Structure 1
Amino acid sequence: MPRMNTLLDAEHTAARLPWAPLVDELEALLGDATVQVPPRTVLPMADGAFLFAMPGCDARTAMTKLITFTPANAGTSRPTIQGDVTVFDVASGERRLILDGPTVTGRRTAAVSALAARWLAPNLAGPMLIVGAGVQGYAHVEVFAAALGVRQFRIASRRRASAEALAAHARALGLQADVVEDADAALADCPLAATCTPASEVVLRALPRADAFIAAVGAFTPKMVEIDAGLCRHLAATGRVVVDSRDAGHEAGDLLQAGLDVAAMPSLADVVRAQSKARADGGPVLFKSCGWAGWDLAAARLAVKPMG
């Protein structure tokens, strides 16, 4: 077992971030008045790559995530997200852990979607549509099953082989999973959906069910998009659009390209603090996730807790 003050690999990082406790830690962080999270620094690099520096702290724990996003690595043996999360003890200033950055990003992103669904989804019964069969596709299947009890999934991907591999993974977890060719057609049967793609093109256009919850996680810059502009406007007009943090005001490509006033939309923190869970008759919900260092801080807080 790795000791504190060590560099953890992907496997040991994941072991310190089990799904259900991670979702609970994310929710707990939103109620912690000591949390400080400044805007993240985003440095554009060559060929569409970015360097992200994301610090945050509470009264006991501080962390900084430093990662690169390299879209040119998609489809290669190199991951698109690389880097580390360094965790410190506030009282002593001591470095406690260095976590694997892509693992933290992958797990906290999916766990945020699950937390949003806990508060916002009108219907958690499933099936759940997963669009995209990469890291986030796998993570969303796992967390929605582990933390919310979803048992049935529909998988859509540009590559049939990738969709089949994710469906096989879900079945190995004891879940029901089927590959679908048309994500728009499948949306009619799925009250839950998550778009987990590289966000280079629109992947959902169809109008959803009245009890739908859609988590859009792929687009985190103004030029990226997964959800059709017309669909975004429909969801804003007939239901509810919630963003993961105030940073989405200048990062939520789907919403910005739809011409919506993102700054006026409630954040997940607003929802949780107001204790305003979605009503079953409240219409469809779009949750737009762009990423926030607070989510990484929650993961860091969980990672330094004693395991047992």
Structure 2
Amino acid sequence: MPDTPLLLSPADTARALPYPALAQAIEAVLRDPGVTVPPRLVQPLPGGGSLFVMPAVSPTVTITKLITFVADNAARQLPTIQGDIVVFDTATGQRRCIVDGPTVTARRTAAVSLLAAQKLAPRTDGPLLIVGAGVQGRAHLDAFADGLGLREVWVVSRSTDSADALVTHARARGLHARRVDDADAALAHCPLVVSCTSAQAVALRGTPRDDAFVAAVGAFTPQMVEWAPDVCQRLAQRGTLVVDTRDADHEAGDLLQAGIDVAALPTLADVVLGTPAWAQARRGGPVFFKSCGWAGWDLAAARCVVGAKPCP
């Protein structure tokens, strides 16, 4: 083994992580009793950014994700998320490879939403409404198109140029796509909804359809928010709320700001494993899936990478 581990480019990382396979790998992590994921460390940085340190361990592969998040980096023409994931052999402790952190973050977040939609969405034929046309908007469009057979997408963004670019991308994939200006009005027409804004302020005040599946991914700290508190409260009363992991208990800004007892909600693991918590929580109406992120998702991606393109 060479002293320097293989460094995968963003393109190589993406090729190793097709969305349907990554969703399956995420489900496998949730079913694997040998996986250990300690709480992530979030270190504030001078100027308002954050450093995230996220380890995860499985019997074969161990990872540490090191990324920075700086919300206003767009003004500097820099990515909001930067960093890498170091992949180790669990048995020997040797570095296997280093993969591109932003690419993994985008793809595993969208793959988690895909898995949740596969398990929870009352209907998957669309149209899909994407609110926020950045990196996550494109990743979710691709994930849902690859994993659900999506045929139509509507896009809302504060930036007309970003929305038009995502519409062009969707049409290049053979999808029917349009830009719309009113996200709340579009909710009435779209049974699939993904909110992936910068989550610096409420972006949605309308109520999703009774047969809707919502993946809310933009807010991943208690201070961030995309959905109005009264909407979240109505969804808690007449629908089903699910969080990605128990880390959401103290991170799910949309739900926490609505005064919802997040710790009482089922997780995606409860759904996958069919636990009593899921059986008790499951009911009709819209499904609101709140995703905050977890190093287990990055571990799933690392296992995909190692399996798809073994590192020396």
| TM-score strictly above 0.5 | yes
Q: What is the SS of the residue equivalent to 2:292?
A: coil
C-alpha separation in 2, matches of 1:175 and 1:280: 32
Letter paired with 2:286 = P
Q: What is the SS of the residue equivalent to 2:153?
A: strand
Question: Normalising to structure 1: TM-score of the pair?
Answer: 0.96
C-alpha separation in 2, matches of 1:142 and 1:260: 31
- 1:250 and 2:250 are equivalent in the alignment: yes
Find the counterpart in structure 1 of residue 154 from structure 2. Answer: 154
Letter paired with 2:83 = G
Residue pairs, 1:69-148, within 5 angstroms: 69-148=69-148
Letter paired with 1:5 = P
Q: What are structure 2's unaligned runs of at least 5 residues?
A: none
Does the 8 Å contact 1:123/1:280 carry over to 2?
no
C-alpha separation in 2, matches of 1:18 and 1:102: 15
Give per-residue Cα distances to partners, 1:239-295, cap 9 Å, x unaligned. 111001100011111000000000111110111111769x99711011000000000
Find the counterpart in structure 2 of residue 35 from structure 1. Answer: 35
Does the 8 Å contact 2:62/2:90 carry over to 1?
yes
Does the 8 Å contact 1:211/1:280 carry over to 2?
no
C-alpha separation in 2, matches of 1:17 and 1:306: 8
C-alpha separation in 1, matches of 2:194 and 2:291: 11
Give per-residue Cα distances to partners, 1:19-52, cap 9 Å, x unaligned. 1100110111110010000000011112221000
Give per-residue Cα distances to partners, 1:81-116, cap 9 Å, x unaligned. 000000011112111110000001010001101111
What's the CA shift for 1:75? 4.0
Provide runs of 4+ in structure 1 moved above 3 Å. Answer: none
Q: What is the SS of the residue equivalent to 1:47?
A: coil
- 1:52 and 2:52 are equivalent in the alignment: yes
Aligned length: 305
- Change over 3 Å in CA distance of 1:302–1:216 after alignment to 2: same
Find the counterpart in structure 2 of residue 287 from structure 1. Answer: 289
What's the CA shift for 1:164? 0.5
Does the 8 Å contact 1:36/1:58 carry over to 2?
yes
Percent identity among equivalent residues? Answer: 59
Find the counterpart in structure 1 of residue 305 from structure 2. Answer: 303
Question: Normalising to structure 2: TM-score of the pair?
Answer: 0.94
Q: CA RMSD in A?
A: 1.8
C-alpha separation in 2, matches of 1:10 and 1:270: 32
Find the counterpart in structure 2 of residue 238 from structure 1. Answer: 238
Q: What is the SS of the residue equivalent to 2:59?
A: coil
What's the CA shift for 1:306? 3.6
Q: What is the SS of the residue equivalent to 1:64?
A: strand
Find the counterpart in structure 2 of residue 62 from structure 1. Answer: 62
Q: What is the SS of the residue equivalent to 1:74?
A: helix
